[in-house]
Amino acid sequence: AKKAGRNTFCFYDDGMGSDVSERTLLELDLRDAVMRSEFLLHYQPIVDAASRTVRAFEALMRWTHPVRGTIPPTEFIPLAEETGLIVALGSWALHEACREAASWPGDLRVAVNVSAVQFARPGLEKVVGDALSASGLPAHRLELEITESVLMSDAESVVACLHRLRDLGVRIALDDFGTGYSSLSYLRRFPFDKIKIDRSFIRDISDGNTAAIVRAIVGLGERTGATITAEGVETAEQFEGVCREGCNQVQGYLFSEPLRASRVMNFVEELALRSST
């Protein structure tokens, strides 16, 4: 393609080229970043709906890139999953979150997201066990958040793994509930300790049909003993809505964005003050 179709070729080449190199650069950066420990965890409070006190914090990964600044997880987690780097990154997150949470008072829990790729490799149970023993965090204060994609493939070995993790005393939460293709079927495969209703439902909670679905999920939770958490609660109206439908816990910008580790204890105390007055 020298002359004929040159424009087309150039257009195609430029488009592809920049896309591929952008990706490759980010991938190279990601490998370095794991070595250079450019990652940190932020913690978002999960609040008990009735008492309005903090029950747990969800650990959410942040990448502080030396040039690009903070890169959100939605941009680098998929890449880390494709390249397998998520295995190292996920182990780091488990260790870091447990270490941090071990210094929190009372029975505050920490929730850590675990990718389907981590379940597909052997060794997850050992990583979890090591993170607990190295930090001294009691197992019941660790919650693992998994999405439906974890149960999509090779369900039997995954379910066996979930049972062994549960036997350690760790709690298992089903994340982003309602967004997958066969959400209900996943509930039959494993008795989850917690179900987190995806924020798309919470956004539309003022709609009667959506409220009815949320109420039905709450009913499921009551029958199975699962705690129901509403994700992405941003407004007072949404908070009222999810409380009315019976959700046990809420998480979202209305209460707090994900916080730096150093601000976790401040938040717990502030909210306790606000809720007692």
- Single out the residue of 2, 35, 74, 156 in contact with ligand C2E (rule: CB under 6 A): 74
- Single out the residue of 30, 49, 54, 60 in contact with ligand C2E (rule: CB under 6 A): 60
Query: Is residue 180 close enough to count as binding ligand C2E by CB under 6 A?
Result: no
Query: Is residue 258 close enough to count as binding ligand C2E by CB under 6 A?
Result: yes
- Contact residues toward Ca ion (CB under 5 A) are 113, 145, 175-176, 231
Taking the least distance from each CB to ligand C2E, the nearer of 194 and 277 is 194
Taking the least distance from each CB to Ca ion, the nearer of 114 and 127 is 114
Instruction: Tell me phi and psi for residue 82, to 5 degrees.
Output: -60, -40
Instruction: Tell the smallest beta-carbon distance from residue 106 to ligand C2E (Å).
Output: 23
Instruction: Tell the smallest beta-carbon distance from residue 112 to ligand C2E (Å).
Output: 6
Taking the least distance from each CB to ligand C2E, the nearer of 143 and 145 is 145
Q: Which stretch binds ligand C2E (CB under 6 A): 2-10, 154-162, 212-220, 232-240?
A: 232-240
Taking the least distance from each CB to Ca ion, the nearer of 77 and 261 is 77
Taking the least distance from each CB to ligand C2E, the nearer of 77 and 268 is 77
Q: Distance between alpha carbon 101 and the CA centroid of its chain, in Å?
A: 16
Query: Is residue 234 close enough to count as binding ligand C2E by CB under 6 A?
Result: yes
Q: Which stretch binds ligand C2E (CB under 6 A): 13-21, 73-81, 129-137, 269-277?
A: 73-81
Choose from Ca ion, ligand C2E, none: what does 178 bind? Cβ within 5-8 Å by kind: none
Instruction: Tell the smallest beta-carbon distance from residue 206 to ligand C2E (Å).
Output: 16
List binders of ligand C2E among 88-107 (CB under 6 A). 90, 93
Instruction: Tell the smallest beta-carbon distance from residue 11 to ligand C2E (Å).
Output: 33
Q: Look at strands 194-197 and 171-177 and give their pairing.
A: parallel
Taking the least distance from each CB to ligand C2E, the nearer of 113 and 210 is 113
Which H, E and C letters describe 14-56, residue by residue? HHHHHHHHHHHHHHHHHHHHHHHCCEEEEEEEEEECCCCCEEE
Taking the least distance from each CB to ligand C2E, the nearer of 105 and 134 is 134
DSSP string, the chain: --STTHHHHHHHHHHHHHHHHHHHHHHHHHHHHHHHT-EEEEEEEEEETTT--EEEEEEEEEEEETTTEEE-HHHHHHHHHHHSTHHHHHHHHHHHHHHHHTTS-TT-EEEEE--HHHHHSTTHHHHHHHHHHHHT--GGGEEEEE-THHHHSSHHHHHHHHHHHHHHT-EEEEEEETSSSSHHHHHHHS--SEEEE-HHHHHTTTSHHHHHHHHHHHHHHHHHT-EEEE----SHHHHHHHHHTT-SEE-STTT---B-GGGHHHHHHHHHHHHH-
Tokens coding 169: 């005393």
Q: Interface with ligand C2E by CB under 6 A: which residues?
A: 44, 60-61, 72-74, 77, 90, 93, 113, 115, 145, 175-176, 199, 232-234, 252-253, 258
